[in-house]
A and B are shown apart, each in its own frame.
Chain A
Amino acid sequence: MKLFTKSFLLVMAMLLIGEASVRIFWSRNMSGRFEYGYNLTSGFEEEKDGRVHLVRAGGRRFRPQSFAMPKPQGVFRVFVIGDSVPRGPGMKKAYPYQLEKILREKGIRAEVFNLGVPGYGARRCQIVLKQVIQYQPDLIIRHINWTNEYEDEREYRRAQEFKSWHPKNWLMKSMLLARLNEIQTENIFWRLLPQEVRMQRGINDDDAEIAASQNDEKRRQWREFVNEKALEDAKIIKDAGVQGLFIAQAKIRKTVKGESYLDDEGMDSLLVLLAREGMHTLSMKDVFIHDSNLKELFSDGSHLHPPGHQKMADALALELIPLIPKQNLK
């Protein structure tokens, strides 16, 4: 009896043909599940008709939006990059959508895209920035904070591990198998199962995250890293000849007496550095500092309710209108 049977050889031949086909026809169209967002094209699907669709990236998703790759003439294009704060409680309830609405009402042909992805920290925001800078933006709004670095680091580690040749990664080195896995995940797992069922697959490392966030040395490292990345982002934006606006996020804290106040955790000094690099800056603390009803504006310590988003949109519109060239007016 022969070592290799005909049926085995048939399987191998079909796998090889499938692999070659995927590499030739679908190589770019990957949502980067195994790169955990650490790929320029993660979450961006470019169609042949010139449209770009924002989709899931590494298990997380952009809010579904699409735009034309060559920017329509006379349009002021804005990309908002950040985490769950700018992403907001819903597409139309988040400030990027409201900002676009205000700008249009003011007669400006603007399109504002919300690229907030929950848990995205400095590393992955920079990857998103590097990708969208190719799509002819007029302005990049970049949110900065120090709270997502744990997850960013963890996912970065996983992405690096996946690049290794450890046997557990062998199968997914095949583009055919990786693509099939992605199709199953996107079109069956995510579409058919409710979140409560899907959650069983989630990584639960809350304890490790809390421990890391209480470690002073770790926090200091994260802050330095965020500063470094923010300045790199400023350089990328500047080199591309685009305007940049950095928003320092703020958190609600309580005084000993139990009174709420906003804390930007010392991010104002980073804003000063960014301003020196020619970037526009805005602090959420300044936007909400005169509000006594923080509970109505913030859903928790750092995320906003729709009225909070509206207020952010109003504040941003005031900042942006002077920056918009006249040719973008209708």
Chain B
Amino acid sequence: MAYWLLPHRTRIFLLILASYVFYGIWDPRFPALLLVPTIVDFFGANAIDGRRPASWKMILSSALPLLWLVICRGTGLAEIPSGAFIAAAFFVVLLTIVHSLFWLLQEEIRRKAFVVFSIATSLTILGFFKYFNFFAESTRSLLTNMGFHAGWVLPHIILPVGISFYTFQTLAYVIDVYRRQQKACIDLPTYALYLSFFPQILAGPIGRAPQLMPQWQEKKIFSPVYLHDGIRLILIGLFKKIFVADSCALLANACFDAKEPLGIAWSVLGAVAFTFQIYGDFSGYTDMARGSAKLFGIDLMINFRFPYRAKTPAEFWRRWHISLSSWFRDYLYIPLGGNRLSQNRMFLNLMITMLLAGLWHGAGNMFIVWGAYYGLLLILYRAIPFLDNLKNKGLFAMMVTFVLTMLGWVIFRSPDAHGFMQWMAGFLKISSELPWPGPAVWLVIHVVPLGLLQFLTRKKEDESELTHLAWPVRGLVYLLIFLLIVSTSAQDQEFIYFQF
């Protein structure tokens, strides 16, 4: 309520403060890292738009990461290695030099130079923190296998939570400004909030500037609708996370963390359980994020639209993690040529897009295999008319896609190739190492209520929309959801998508 009593401008500062504190709780050093793309892309986008900032403003702003690191060390919040101070100081110098030099260039070249610099900065940060160790380790293994001794010691790099999400969000903004599809934001606090808004910073949805920016600028007054919608979304999100995902996680973990194959029944149980775990986990988080944002009068985009009702893998991606799949479509697949060029080129574009989508999820071989698997499915569905025609078969097509999706999740969940082979080996073992009928009933108990909820919302765009129901039915649904949440006793699990 304090938020709604504040003047509009103060609300933005309050939300920035809350967002940075929230992000800093994970690691006090993370806010310094978040400030880098914020500042680079804010001034970069303005430069692309032909707006030259006052040098003192830029220098002062670019010194914020350094200032934050000094505060962290001074207050004992975190240990900061001297290399971090050097990098932060270098950042001030680099940004000043880049802007001084780029402004000497002709307009079109300058625009290109700034967009390349912005993209390069974001991808360098993402690449270093997320992929450096993976590629260095892979290279070392490769060299060792070839008979060379690669004796380098890899640094311990902490993966900042949510880095993939806010990096993609800032990339989308800069590219949109460069394409002249979006005006550059002229207010640094508004842009800082666009990147750091706490409900979405950890696991999305990956927002788009045209949708979010106007909402920050609009002077809203409190409406009970914000409260009702916010609480409804949070309640449904908690239900998906606590009741569905965490309960399914018990079975999925038992299956995929086992030291040896548990048998055919558990291979099936594990796959089904993880399929619903990851859906409940991620869509639950998204609902909670949307609900939290709604309490502040902000609409975040819908990220899931009944994904397991898809009739083809392509449709699945139009329903699953929509903010990411649409990002890859708009900023990678279409710029690569999409389906406008030859069929072979389209297949290549699909494969590149899905491989990178897999890699986005994490620095691991299985994520790349998972991306390749989807690349292959999308190609096969385009190349083979029989598969493409399946989408007219209704329930059958849905079942086929569900099984294919489930197999994809098995690849995604398997810790490595050996883990996947172990899961496969379970199908060769009729007898079960662990009793399975009880767990199967457990799975049904925790998945059927989700199915019933989705049956009620089946005709709506938003799968968490219940307002079309008569109020007594709605009340009963809320009551049941609430009781199911509080009565569940599954172990609390961290959100899967926080690691990306």
A residues at B contact (CB < 8 Å): 1-3, 5-11, 14-15, 171-172, 177, 180-181, 183-185, 188-189, 191-194, 196-198, 200-201
Q: Is the CB of B438 within 8 A of A189?
A: no
CA–CA, A26 to B486, complex, Å?
Answer: 19
CA–CA, A189 to B488, complex, Å?
Answer: 9
User: Nearest-CB distance from A62 to chain B (Å)?
Assistant: 20
- Chain B contact residues, majority secondary structure: helix
A-B contact pairs, 23 of them (CB 8 A): A1-B223, A2-B224, A3-B224, A7-B474, A7-B478, A8-B228, A11-B478, A11-B482, A14-B475, A14-B479, A171-B486, A177-B487, A181-B487, A184-B487, A184-B489, A191-B438, A192-B439, A193-B250, A193-B438, A194-B434, A194-B439, A196-B254, A200-B250
Tell me whether B483 is interfacial, beta carbon within 8 Å: yes
* Known A-B contacts A1-B224, A3-B227, A194-B435; A8 and B475 likewise in contact (beta carbons under 8 Å): yes
Partner of A184, one of B228, B251, B472, B488: B488
Q: Is the CB of A180 within 8 A of B442?
A: no
Contacts of B421 in A (CB 8 A): none
**Which single residue of chain B is at the shortest CB-CB distance from A192?**
B438
- Chain A contact residues, majority secondary structure: helix
* Known A-B contacts A7-B471, A7-B472, A197-B254; A185 and B489 likewise in contact (beta carbons under 8 Å): yes
CA–CA, A181 to B482, complex, Å?
Answer: 12
Tell me whether B253 is interfacial, beta carbon within 8 Å: yes
User: Nearest-CB distance from B159 to chain A (Å)?
Assistant: 24
CB-CB nearest 4 A-B residue pairs: A10-B475, A7-B475, A192-B438, A180-B487
Tell me whether B491 is interfacial, beta carbon within 8 Å: yes
Tell me whether B395 is interfacial, beta carbon within 8 Å: no
Q: Is the CB of A11 within 8 A of B224?
A: no
Q: Is the CB of A1 within 8 A of B487?
A: no
CA–CA, A296 to B225, complex, Å?
Answer: 72
Q: Is the CB of A181 within 8 A of B435?
A: no
B contact residues, range: 20 to 34
- Of residues 412 through 451 on chain B, the ones whose CB sits less than 8 Å from some CB of chain A are 434-435, 438-439, 441-442, 445
Partner of A189, one of B435, B483, B489: B489
Tell me whether B490 is interfacial, beta carbon within 8 Å: yes
Contacts of A184 in B (CB 8 A): 487-489
* Known A-B contacts A8-B475, A11-B475, A181-B489; A192 and B254 likewise in contact (beta carbons under 8 Å): no
CA–CA, A9 to B475, complex, Å?
Answer: 8
CA–CA, A289 to B435, complex, Å?
Answer: 42
Q: Is the CB of A193 within 8 A of B442?
A: yes
* Known A-B contacts A181-B486, A196-B254; A1 and B225 likewise in contact (beta carbons under 8 Å): yes
User: Nearest-CB distance from B228 to chain A (Å)?
Assistant: 6
Contacts of B254 in A (CB 8 A): 196-197, 200
Contacts of A191 in B (CB 8 A): 438
Q: Mark B266-307, 1 if CB is under 8 A from A, else 0.
A: 000000000000000000000000000000000000000000
Q: Is the CB of A192 within 8 A of B441?
A: yes
Q: Is the CB of A201 within 8 A of B491?
A: yes
Partner of A5, one of B223, B228, B250, B490: B228
**Which single residue of chain A is at the shortest CB-CB distance from B478?**
A11
CA–CA, A7 to B251, complex, Å?
Answer: 35
CA–CA, A7 to B228, complex, Å?
Answer: 10
User: Nearest-CB distance from A200 to chain B (Å)?
Assistant: 6
Told that A7-B478, A172-B486, A184-B489 touch, could you supply 16 new A-B pairs with CB distance under 8 A? A5-B228, A7-B474, A7-B475, A8-B475, A11-B478, A11-B479, A11-B482, A14-B475, A15-B482, A180-B483, A181-B489, A184-B487, A185-B489, A192-B439, A192-B442, A200-B253
